[in-house]
Amino acid sequence: TRRRLQALRLRHAQRSIPSRYQRRQINHFISKEADPVPPIPAQRTPFTLAVKDNITTKFSPATTTCASPFLADYNSPFEATIVQQLRDLGAVVTGKTNLDEFGMGSHSVHSAHGAVSQEKDGYSAGGSSGGSAVAVANGEVDLALGTDTGGSVRLPAAYCGVVGYKPSYGMLSRFGVVPYANSLDTVGLIAKGVGRIREVVVRRGLWEVEDGRDPTSLGRKARRRIAQGREGYGGEDVELEGVRLGLPVEYNIEELEGGVRDAWVKAAGRLEERGAKVVPVSLPTTRHALSAYYVIAPAEASSNLAKYDGVRYGRRSEGESDAAEGGVLYAASRGQGFGEEVKRRILLGSYTLSSEAMDNYFLKAQAVRRLVRRDFDRVFRLENPLQDEQETFDLSEMSEEIPMENKLGPAEVDFLLCPTAPTLAPKLEDVMGGQGVLDAYMNDVFAVPASLAGLPAVSVPMLVEGEERMAGLQLIGQYWDDARLLGVAEAIS
């Protein structure tokens, strides 16, 4: 046995640091290799695609590291459906992009591959799909895939001055996407203009495709049925005339940077000039959404990440723990395999799911999630096709704090218009220097409500005058109103 253990240890030592890490030259691509697969049929227009490294690719680049030391040499035996679908539409995968480990973060700094930054001026690229956003902003690829659990596509898009789209939950297949928090995870797209995203999702029909290998993928019949009552699925131009846009008053928070607020108000003014109707609306649960998100997401993550133990998944710890009992092996592998932020989430999640904390945290957060969804349903003109008929739990405890009937202005709007993030991209050195954990969580305050409700949202760049920099303007739509949302986003950008 001892000899076998020694041999094992040696094998682990040999595969310690994969050479691709040393070869890495730019921080937003993890691997960048020519794609040898398959020749594109003449009738398809080829386009280049970068893939966030928590989405599996089978051909070159073959590894899927999730920016985690645990998966440094993980080769997936299958490719994500979304990658295959895009290849079928003419995509040539040119590389895998850097991210916060397993998608957990807001600045793409928690990565085994080093932090991502926008090369120009060293601003934070946002996270967790920062590598994808930088690749698009630099013009290195036409389109990039990201994942958006609580803003990870929209926030980097906003910081990098590009477009980021998070679809309705259950629209784009998540098969082959490494889960972070299943009830929130979506695959999103990043491009310079809305047109390219609209092309693949609406005109080329990705929205229609159910994937039987993804249990959260909406059924084919339901997709069609819901879309029937909705505009935009024909790919036609969407008129701004008569579209009602709601400005949520609760998003005008104290922490909102002046330039971002001005740009938001100006954008609303310009849209009014073009025939849209702009009205204030109230989404009172917004201020609780962030806390609910940071209970629910880590709880689901702690359960998802349990499989990384060095036995079932992930690199096994080197050194003496091999010889010890199972528990030590697990602990040592997890201790070495996960980065600091991921460990923090696992601890948070394990705590809020523990018997003494469950009622006060996890169940409360689920209640807030329902309220967030109700807030949205109350202001949108369209009904939520997934709406539950009755509430199944007691909200009485919360109703004192959250007035139920304080809708401002006329109720019915088509879309909500708000900033994507409260500030412009901070300098990376400030983020890595003094900022605390909670500061990073704060960036997600405008992004998580749509995630909790499963709604489609898109961030389009808007110029902040005086600063000559871009901020993100976010449009949020009712569930499965994606086609019209992208149509309006294209019209205003």
What residues act catalytically? 52, 128, 152
Pick between residue 101 and residue 375 the one whose CB is nearest to ligand GLN.
Answer: 101
Count CB atoms within 10 A of the CB of residue 407: 17
Of 230, 200, 164, the residue nearest 415 (C-alpha)? 230
Of 38, 35, 32, 47, the residue nearest 193 (C-alpha)? 47
CB of 115 to ligand GLN, least distance (A): 15
Pick between residue 102 and residue 308 the one whose CB is nearest to ligand GLN.
Answer: 102
- Give, to the nearest 10 degrees, the angle between helix 340-352 and helix 286-304: 100
Residue nearest to ligand GLN (CB): 152
CB of 264 to ligand GLN, least distance (A): 21
For 161, residues 6+ apart whose C-beta sits below 8 A from its C-beta are 137, 461, 469, 470
Pick between residue 98 and residue 152 the one whose CB is nearest to ligand GLN.
Answer: 152
The pairing of beta strand 469-477 with beta strand 457-464: antiparallel
For 33, residues 6+ apart whose C-beta sits below 8 A from its C-beta are 60, 61, 95
**In this structure, are residues 109 and 78 in contact, taking their beta carbons and an 8 Å threshold?**
no
CB of 22 to ligand GLN, least distance (A): 28
CB of 94 to ligand GLN, least distance (A): 22
Rg (CA), the chain: 22
Pick between residue 67 and residue 276 the one whose CB is nearest to ligand GLN.
Answer: 67
φ, ψ for residue 485, nearest 5 deg: -55, -45
At residue 408, the 3 state secondary structure works out as coil
Pick between residue 151 and residue 419 the one whose CB is nearest to ligand GLN.
Answer: 151
**What number of CA atoms fall less than 13 Å from residue 208's CA on the CB side?**
10
Kindly provide the residue ranges of all beta strands, DSSP E only, lying in 303-449, ordered along the sequence. Answer: 415-419
Kindly provide the residue ranges of all beta strands, DSSP E only, lying in 15-149, ordered along the sequence. Answer: 29-31, 47-52, 91-97, 143-148
Q: Cα separation of 423 and 471, whole Å?
A: 8
Q: Cα separation of 109 and 124, whole Å?
A: 9
Pick between residue 159 and residue 233 the one whose CB is nearest to ligand GLN.
Answer: 159
CB of 318 to ligand GLN, least distance (A): 29
**Residues in touch with ligand GLN (CB under 6 A):** 103-106, 128, 147-152, 180, 297, 444
CB of 233 to ligand GLN, least distance (A): 26
DSSP string across 29-65: EEE------PPPPTTSPPEEEEEETTB--SSSS-B--
CB of 170 to ligand GLN, least distance (A): 16
Pick between residue 424 and residue 452 the one whose CB is nearest to ligand GLN.
Answer: 452
User: Which helix (H) or strand (E) segment is 163 a member of?
Assistant: strand 163-166
Exposure string over 429-448, b if 16+ CB within 10 A, otherwise e:
eebeeebeeeebbbbbbbbb
At 363, list the tokens.
């169940």
Kindly provide the residue ranges of all beta strands, DSSP E only, lying in 297-414, ordered along the sequence. Answer: none
C-alpha dihedral sign at 327, 331, 332, 337: positive
CB of 380 to ligand GLN, least distance (A): 23
At 4, list the tokens.
């076998």
Pick between residue 105 and residue 454 the one whose CB is nearest to ligand GLN.
Answer: 105
**In this structure, are residues 49 and 143 in contact, taking their beta carbons and an 8 Å threshold?**
yes
Pick between residue 290 and residue 413 the one whose CB is nearest to ligand GLN.
Answer: 290
Q: Cα separation of 208 and 225, whole Å?
A: 11
CB of 66 to ligand GLN, least distance (A): 11
Pick between residue 106 and residue 304 the one whose CB is nearest to ligand GLN.
Answer: 106
Return the percent helix, strand and coil in the chain, to nearest 5: 40, 15, 45
CB of 128 to ligand GLN, least distance (A): 5
φ, ψ for residue 136, nearest 5 deg: -70, -45
